[in-house]
Amino acid sequence: MGRRPQVQTGTTGGCLFNGCIALCVLLLVTVVSAWIWLATQPERDEAEARADLRANVEEGRQRLSRAAADGVLQDAEIAQLFPLAKPAEGLVDIKRQGESTTVIAEMLGLGPTRTYIFVYETTVEGCYAFHIPPRARGAPRVSVRQLPDETCTARAASSPPPSRSTRKVPS
């Protein structure tokens, strides 16, 4: 004949034992889930900061297009469109070649502010070149391309701030 189990199911001791096991498993699942959620939080914050950077680049492209629509694009006007946003440099350089203009700017994307023990915020920087072609009709179509981050860092360190001259965007 078989041996009788030490704790029988259906008795008070059996229910208490099964309840403790279920509670321990539930606690373990909760702790592991919280640990995974906290471990992946920086990636989610960085993804949100990158989305904000893309939105800022698109907004900068639209503002630059509106500024160039009147036919006169001043360096001071460009400098106002790309202000310094620490740690990003903002406007880095303005190049004029014939009738076209290229603006190089370092843009900033901000992630959510988090508070654990200290308050911190995720930031992402990117270096972008905005090319304004000669004006045909209406607002010029501004194109954007991403540059290596070293481009903005090297230019900001070596070049003086853009001058305040006025140049006319050819029609």
Q: What single-letter amino acid sits at 60?
A: G
In this structure, which amino acid lies at residue 152?
Answer: C
pLDDT 10s digits, 11-32: 666 788 888 999 999 999 999 9
pLDDT over 90 percentage in the chain: 32
Which residues contact residue 59 at a Cβ distance below 8 angstroms, ignoring those fewer than 6 apart?
none
Q: What is the pTM of this model?
A: 0.69
Mean pLDDT of the chain: 81
Q: Which one is predicted more confidently, 1 or 78?
A: 78
Instruction: Give the containing element (helix H, strand E) for 144.
Output: strand 143-147
pLDDT at 59 over 90: yes
* Residue 157 banded pLDDT, cuts 50, 70, 90: low
